């Protein structure tokens, strides 16, 4: 990145980060502990990559949340995509991030491709539509994953396919919703199984909030009495958000504040919300890897677009598949355990050969710690 990137570089200034760190250190109350969860993998990545954890006073603990769409994609869903490629002879198009996620039987989309499955990485949902137009003799399925950021582009291709009456195109929708996942972390039945961590506040999603706005978190902050500060993904944004959270805790406030005002408004992107609600409706339940079934936490394609819904078109059944027995992703996604608590971390499970979902994406808690933090755990010994 030799050229200056406006709206990026100025939010990565190291000196300013030190200043914000000093101000945080001055504002934390002696003897008080602060635990904040950053929901998004993008924040987890920034905290690891820019060493934000080291800049914070020891009384502040950052807990990594489940906001990495690749990490929460359950095995059963990847199995469906692999089934479409290997058994139903469909061309399966997908974002590159999903290729290495471990699935059943030692497979992944990457390995299924090596076995002859026609699986293609695309940059955009629109690319999958182009492939369908160019190969009318084949079924083309877009394996659609992601939070509220990738949903509007998927909705656009579904609407376009319907407009063109494109007969050979369909979408396997695995789109999930952020607010319901945050709620689930605080109140799910599994909290009893995993135990719970005290969370004093949340660093709220960056790009998800561009689409949905800051308003959807209002109810949450009020009902659960937790402060939320929406923050951009650059290091200064994250530092500033932590400072704002410390202030809210100190002053006993539980409000939704917005640090990322340059891109997030209270209402969000209304054009994007309109196309999403035209094409999608709520699913009653959806399995999240590590979190289990979360009610009303995902989207399915409306009956009007049934022809382009791969689940209906191929009469797909969903079969849940448990994770590797020793994999701690479930507890790590909830913030109850850290990557180094897992026996598989860095030994059997590495970014080159991930066992659990948190190691697959660079935004996963385990991959972020493996790439940027694992040497931090080793005490420095003078030669």
Partner 1 sequence: MCLALPARIVALLDHDTAVIDLGGVRKTISIELTPQAQPGDYVIVHVGHAIGMVDAEEAERTLALFAELAAQEGAAP
Separation of alpha carbons 48 and 373, rounded Å: 7
Phi/psi at 121 (5° precision): -80, 130
Q: How far apart are CA 167 and CA 307, in angstroms?
A: 8
Residue closer to partner 1 (CB basis): 80 or 361: 361
Q: What are phi and psi of 379, to 5 degrees?
A: -65, 140
Instruction: Specify the 3-state DSSP secondary structure of 358.
Output: helix
What is the closest distance, in whole angstroms, from the C-beta atom of residue 257 to partner 1 in the complex? 12
- State which residue, 149 or 168, has the beta carbon closest to partner 1: 149
Going from the C-alpha of 39 to that of each of 35, 191, 235, 335, the distances in angstroms are 13, 17, 15, 10
Burial label for 29, CB within 10 Å (0-12, 13-18, 19+), is: exposed
Nearer to partner 1, 13 or 293 (CB): 13
By DSSP bridging, strand 140-146 and strand 91-94 are parallel
* Both structure tokens of 54: 């080291």
364, 208, 184: which is closest to 292 by C-alpha? 184
In the complex, least distance from residue 67 CB atom to partner 1, rounded to whole angstroms: 8
CB of 178 within 8 A of CB of 212? yes
At 40 the three-state DSSP class reads: strand
Q: Which of 241, 237, 175 is nearest to 212 (CA)?
A: 175
Nearer to partner 1 by C-beta: 336 or 358? Answer: 358
Closer by beta carbon to partner 1, 43 or else 83: 43
Least Å distance, CB 305 to partner 1, is 17
Q: How far is the CB of 302 from partner 1 (least distance, A)?
A: 19
**Residue closer to partner 1, measured from CB, 139 or 363:** 363
Separation between Cα atoms, residue 72 and residue 65, nearest integer Å: 11
Least distance to partner 1 from the beta carbon of 149, Å? 5
Q: Which residues make up the interface to partner 1 (CB under 8 A)?
A: 1-8, 10-11, 13, 15-16, 19-20, 22-23, 40-42, 67-70, 95, 97, 123-127, 145-147, 149-150, 152-153, 156, 205-208, 210-211, 233, 236, 240, 259, 261-264, 269, 271-272, 275, 361, 363
CB closer to partner 1 out of 275 and 299? 275
> Considering the complex, what minimum distance in angstroms separates the CB of residue 311 from partner 1?
22
**End-to-end Cα separation, the chain, in angstroms:** 36
Task: Extract the tokens encoding 212.
Answer: 């949905």
Which residue number, 127 or 323, has a Cβ lying nearer to partner 1? Answer: 127
Contact (Cβ atoms closer than 8 angstroms) between residue 37 and residue 65: yes
Judged by beta carbon, residue 8 or residue 215, the one nearer partner 1 is 8
Query: Residue 300: what are its φ and ψ, rounded to 5°?
Result: -120, 165
């Amino acid at each position: 990145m030799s050229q200056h990137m406006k709206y990026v570089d100025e939010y990565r200034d190291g000196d300013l980060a030190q200043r914000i760190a000093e101000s945080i250190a001055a504002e934390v109350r002696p003897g008080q502990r602060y635990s904040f969860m950053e929901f998004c993998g993008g924040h987890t990545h920034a905290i690891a990559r820019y060493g934000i954890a080291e800049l914070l006073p020891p009384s502040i603990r950052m807990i990594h949340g489940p906001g990495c769409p690749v990490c929460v994609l359950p095995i059963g869903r990847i199995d469906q995509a692999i089934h479409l490629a290997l058994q139903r002879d469909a061309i399966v198009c997908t974002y590159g991030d999903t290729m290495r996620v471990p699935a059943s039987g030692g497979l992944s989309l990457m390995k299924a491709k090596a076995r002859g499955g026609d699986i293609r990485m695309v940059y955009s949902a629109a690319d999958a539509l182009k492939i369908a137009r160019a190969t009318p003799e084949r079924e083309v399925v877009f394996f659609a994953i992601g939070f509220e950021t990738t949903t509007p582009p998927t909705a656009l291709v579904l609407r376009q396919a319907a407009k063109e009456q494109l007969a050979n195109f369909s979408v396997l929708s695995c789109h999930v919703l952020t607010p319901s996942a945050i709620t689930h972390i605080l109140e799910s039945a599994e909290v009893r199984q995993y135990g719970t961590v005290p969370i004093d506040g949340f660093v709220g999603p960056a790009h998800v909030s561009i689409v949905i706005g800051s308003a959807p978190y209002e109810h949450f902050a009020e009902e659960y009495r937790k402060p939320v500060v929406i923050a951009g993904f650059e290091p200064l944004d994250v530092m500033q958000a932590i400072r704002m959270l410390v202030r809210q805790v100190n002053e006993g406030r539980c409000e939704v504040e917005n640090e990322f005002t340059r891109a997030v408004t209270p209402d969000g992107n209304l054009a994007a919300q309109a196309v999403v609600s035209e094409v999608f409706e709520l699913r009653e339940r959806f399995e999240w890897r590590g979190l289990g079934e979360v009610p009303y936490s995902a989207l399915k394609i409306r009956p009007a677009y049934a022809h382009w819904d791969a689940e209906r078109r191929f009469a797909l059944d969903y079969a849940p598949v448990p994770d590797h027995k020793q994999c701690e992703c479930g507890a790590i996604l909830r913030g109850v355990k850290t990557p180094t608590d897992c026996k598989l971390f860095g030994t059997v499970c590495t970014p080159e050969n991930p066992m659990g979902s948190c190691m697959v994406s660079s935004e996963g808690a385990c991959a972020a710690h493996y790439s940027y933090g694992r040497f931090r755990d080793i005490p420095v010994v003078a030669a």
